[in-house]
Amino acid sequence: MPLSDSRYFIPTRIAILTVSGTRTEADDKSGNVLVERLQEAGHTLADRKIIRDEQSELEAQLRAWIADEAVDVVI
């Protein structure tokens, strides 16, 4: 369904999280694609992290982004 003329685009501030013990930003293909596509769509990259598969690290990062008013969405 197309947007009506009365609707307008609201860019979203998105944080990208990759969980991996081996990836870096240089070889994180899926993370790079997500960043590229969100920016092409007009959204803002609020933050990007690559963390190890450790529950405490994952929880800490998610809690930090939840508390951060500059982050609207976490992928």
Per-residue pLDDT, 66: 97
pLDDT of residue 6 exceeding 80:
no
Per-residue pLDDT, 46: 98
Helix or strand (DSSP H, E) at 32: helix 29-40
Decide: 9 and 42 in contact? Cβ < 8 Å. yes
Per-residue pLDDT, 36: 97
pLDDT of residue 4 exceeding 70:
no
pLDDT of residue 39 exceeding 70:
yes
